[in-house]
């Protein structure tokens, strides 16, 4: 009985091995095969959609050319005047008739020059059957006359406001096979007299090049009645019901009702995948058979150490926590026994480690959540406050909140360039906030010379200079504070001057700062405690190089004027990049 159970264990072990290998392998292979098929099928469908879209675009451009060419004769007064003289002409009887004939040919030349598609051919026929062909026409006049004789019955003379897409003519002696013909009836706008009919010939070469099988295989073009115009005749106009074996893409040409169809047999796309899947399945079956034979031998060798482990685990399950596994197999099973011996000793320590790890993980998650607070939260909060103030009719404070929001948004986009006009708008918001903060009735004047408003400069470049004037210029000054910013063109440079009527700056300090600005080394400013003006100068030099300069002078009001000059081009063009403001 023990032997029978042992062999039963072998069978269970082998079946388990086979199930653990075969089932995942079969599932992964099937899923991979299905996903690969779907991916390839979807890629082919996307490729077909793009191809159809590109081809439809070419057809739309060709249709636009045909429409433009025929509309030229309808809308041009000179063309209508010559067609009025031409509509009853059966032959050229006078020099005047010849002039009208030549003028109509010249109109064809003008239309050909303006059309993008030089392969189109045109001719115009009056009700008397007299024909004028476009210059450079490569179709003999006798053949044109034969074509006209066959097309004229297809034209409805009462449809003068639309293009009439007549279709192709069967191959015969009157015209090449595959050429497509379009007609436009021209009537006099005054008395609605039938003046002529303009015919456009779309040569078969156009369709052959557009739907070349070497480039665009399995593509066909049909008219509104599902008559084949060009392409592969094996591609059906309408999709077969419940046909899942073909990948089909369609595009309707809205201007004339044509339909462009791209249909690829699925076997061309997934055939190779199926063959590879079948070959792989055969290899897998062979490998599984070999594995089964080897597993029989391995299972016999594995059983004895496993039996010893089973006995030890049974004792452990009965409550003998001090059990030790003594296996002398000389392989991994012996190592497993030693590992089991240390498992009981380590379990409490592992539990403690897991608790500590979970606690640290929770702390990290809390820190990660707290770090996700985005400046947008502050902006949204301020926006809510602003609208609450507006609802309470507190326009004064709502404007202040709007100014703060504008400056916050500008700070979030600090590395982006802006125009001088946009910079002055931001400065206006900043001054508005400082008025409220310092309870100061400050006058703010902006004078920008024409052409300088669109000059590009780093965002918030001038803000430290205005801040310096407000904070250090006005405390203790009795007169009404005033700050003015002016801009002008000076020797090909943009000159921006920010002046105030404040306390000013001592002569020695002003000369010392001008000397440091001229040398342009950041290390030289270490003895100067105010960093706003220094940072503005360093950003100016970083953006525009040595061609930029900044200096100070005393103005007529006794205050301080800061002059900034840098190279720029008129019309808003500049070499300022987004990183320049960083």
304-359 pLDDT tens trace:
677 777 777 777 667 666 666 666 666 666 777 777 777 766 765 676 677 776 77
Residue, of 528 and 42, whose pLDDT is higher:
42
**Average of per-residue pLDDT across 418-436:** 86
Q: How many CA atoms lie within 13 A of 4 on its CB side?
A: 1
Average pLDDT over residues 485-498: 92
Q: Is the pLDDT of residue 366 over 60?
A: no
**483, 442 Cβ separation under 8 angstroms:** yes
Q: Which two tokens stand for residue 83?
A: 């067609």
Which CATH code is given to the segment(s) 76-209?
3.30.450
> What pLDDT does residue 368 have?
45
CB atoms within 10 A of CB 419: 18
Q: Residue 574 has what DSSP assignment?
A: -
Query: What's the chain's Rg over C-alpha atoms?
Result: 44
Helices (H), 248-392: 266-317, 332-370, 375-391
Q: Which residues have a Cβ under 8 Å from the Cβ of 215 and sit 6 or more positions away?
A: none
**What's the CA gap between 555 and 264, in Å, rounded?**
81
| Lowest-confidence segment of 22-26, 57-61, 181-185 by average pLDDT | 22-26
- Output the pLDDT for position 113: 63
Q: What is the third-level CATH fold of 413-581?
A: Heat Shock Protein 90 (3.30.565)
* DSSP bridge partners of 339: none
pLDDT at 121 over 70: yes
- Residue 56: is its pLDDT beyond 80? yes
- The alpha carbon dihedral of 166, 170, 172, 175 has a sign of positive
**Cβ distance 299 to 10 under 8 Å?**
yes
CB 382 within 8 A of CB 408: yes
The answer to whether residue 206 scores a pLDDT higher than 60 is yes
Residues 6+ apart with CB under 8 A from 362: none
Distance (Å, rounded) from C-alpha 527 to C-alpha 533? 13
pLDDT band for position 371 (cuts 50, 70, 90): very low
Task: For strands 228-231 and 246-253, give the pairing.
Answer: unpaired
Bridge partners, 483 (sequence order): 444, 500
pLDDT tens-digit profile of 155-170? 888 888 888 888 887 6
Residue 133 to residues 10, 79, 120, 200, 574, Cα–Cα distance (Å): 94, 15, 12, 10, 54
User: 76-209 with 413-581: one CATH topology?
Assistant: no
Give the Cα separation of 493 and 531 in Å (integer).
26
d(CA 106, CA 172): 31
Q: Structure pTM?
A: 0.44
Mean pLDDT of the chain: 76
> ∠ CA(455), CA(461), CA(466), 5° rounding?
110
Contacts of 355 (CB under 8 A, 6+ apart): none
Residue ranges of the domains in the chain?
76-209, 413-581
As given in the structure block, the two tokens for residue 136 are 């450079």
Helix (H) or strand (E) holding 78: helix 77-86
Q: Which of 213, 205, 280 is nearest to 28 (CA)?
A: 280
What b/e string do you get for 112-126 counting C-beta neighbours within 10 Å, with b at 16 or more? Answer: beebebeebbbbbbb
Distance (Å, rounded) from C-alpha 469 to C-alpha 530? 12
Q: Measure CA 308 to chain center.
A: 66
Least confident of 174-178, 502-506, 541-545: 174-178
As a 3-state breakdown, the chain gives helix, strand, coil percent values, each rounded to 5, of 55, 15, 30
Task: Please give the C-alpha separations between residue 295 and each of 13, 99, 289, 307, in angstroms, as whole numbers.
Answer: 9, 101, 10, 18
Q: Compute the distance between CA of residue 502 and CA of residue 504 in angstroms, rounded to an integer.
A: 5
Angle between helices 95-114 and 77-86 (to 10 degrees): 140
Phi first, then psi: give them for residue 502, nearest 5 degrees: -85, -155
**So what's the pLDDT on residue 553?**
92
Among the residue ranges 111-115, 194-198, 411-415, the one predicted with the least confidence is 411-415
**What span, in angstroms and rounded, lies between the C-alpha atoms of 461 and 543?**
11
What the block records as the tokens of 280 is 């792989």
Place of tokens 């066909």: 220
DSSP codes joined into one string, 526-569? GG---HHHHHHHHHHHHHHGGG-EEEEEE-TTSSEEEEEEEE--
Is 16 or 8 the better-scoring residue by pLDDT? 16
Burial class (CB in 10 A: 0-12, 13-18, 19+), 85: middle
Average confidence (pLDDT) over 495-516: 88
Q: How confident is the model at residue 582 (pLDDT cuts 50, 70, 90)?
A: very low
Kindly state the percentage of the chain with pLDDT values over 90: 7
pLDDT score of 529 more than 60: no
How many angstroms separate the CA atoms of 59 and 261, rounded?
13
């Amino acid at each position: 009985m023990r032997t029978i159970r042992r062999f039963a264990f072998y069978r269970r072990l082998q079946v388990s091995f086979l199930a653990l290998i075969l089932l995942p392998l079969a599932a992964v292979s099937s899923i991979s095969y299905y996903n690969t098929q779907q991916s390839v099928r979807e890629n082919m469908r996307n490729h077909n959609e793009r191809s159809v879209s590109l081809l439809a675009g070419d057809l739309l451009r060709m249709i636009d050319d045909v429409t433009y060419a025929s509309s030229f004769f309808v809308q041009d007064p000179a063309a209508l005047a010559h067609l009025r003289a031409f509509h009853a002409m059966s032959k050229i009887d006078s020099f005047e008739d010849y002039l009208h004939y030549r003028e109509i040919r010249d109109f064809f030349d003008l239309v050909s020059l303006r059309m993008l598609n030089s392969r189109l051919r045109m001719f115009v026929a009056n009700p008397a059957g007299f024909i004028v062909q476009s210059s450079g026409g490569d179709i003999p006049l006798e053949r044109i006359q034969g074509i006209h004789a066959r097309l004229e019955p297809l034209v409805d003379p009462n449809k003068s406001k639309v293009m009439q897409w007549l279709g192709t003519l069967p191959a015969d002696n009157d015209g090449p096979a595959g050429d497509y013909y379009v007609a436009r009836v021209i009537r006099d706008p005054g008395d609605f007299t039938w003046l002529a009919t303009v015919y456009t010939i779309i040569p078969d070469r156009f369709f052959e090049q557009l739907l070349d099988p070497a480039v665009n295989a399995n593509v066909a073009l049909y008219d509104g009645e599902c008559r084949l115009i060009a392409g592969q005749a094996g591609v059906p106009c309408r999709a077969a019901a419940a046909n899942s074996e073909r990948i089909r893409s369609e595009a309707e040409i809205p201007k004339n009702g044509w339909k462009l169809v791209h249909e690829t047999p699925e076997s061309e796309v997934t055939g190779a995948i199926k063959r590879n899947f079948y070959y792989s399945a055969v290899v897998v079956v062979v490998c599984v058979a070999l594995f089964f034979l080897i597993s029989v031998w391995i299972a016999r060798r594995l059983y004895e150490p496993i039996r010893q482990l089973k006995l030890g685990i049974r004792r452990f399950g009965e409550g003998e926590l001090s059990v030790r596994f003594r296996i002398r197999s000389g392989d991994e099973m012996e190592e497993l026994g030693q590992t089991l011996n240390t498992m009981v000793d380590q379990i409490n320590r592992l539990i403690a480690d897991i608790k500590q790890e979970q606690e640290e993980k929770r702390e990290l998650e809390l820190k990660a959540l707290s770090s996700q607070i985005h400046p947008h939260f502050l902006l949204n909060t301020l926006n809510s406050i602003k609208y609450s103030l507006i609802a309470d009719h507190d326009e004064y404070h709502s404007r202040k909140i709007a100014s703060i929001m504008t400056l916050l948004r500008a700070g979030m986009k600090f590395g982006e360039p802006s125009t001088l006009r946009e910079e002055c708008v931001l400065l206006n918001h900043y001054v508005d906030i400082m008025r409220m903060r310092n309870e100061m009735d400050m006058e703010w004047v902006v004078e920008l010379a024409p052409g300088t408003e669109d000059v590009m400069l780093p965002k918030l470049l001038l803000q430290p200079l205005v801040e310096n004037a407000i904070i250090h210029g006005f405390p203790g000054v009795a007169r009404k504070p005033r700050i003015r910013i002016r801009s002008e063109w000076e020797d090909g440079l943009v000159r921006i001057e920010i002046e105030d009527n404040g306390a000013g700056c001592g002569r020695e300090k002003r000369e010392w700062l001008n000397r440091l600005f001229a040398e342009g080394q950041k290390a030289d400013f270490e003895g100067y405690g105010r960093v706003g003006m220094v940072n503005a100068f360093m950003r100016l030099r970083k953006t525009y190089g040595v061609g930029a300069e900044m200096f100070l002078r005393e103005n007529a009001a006794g205050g301080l004027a800061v002059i900034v000059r840098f190279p720029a081009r008129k019309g808003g063009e500049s070499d300022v990049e987004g990183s320049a403001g960083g």
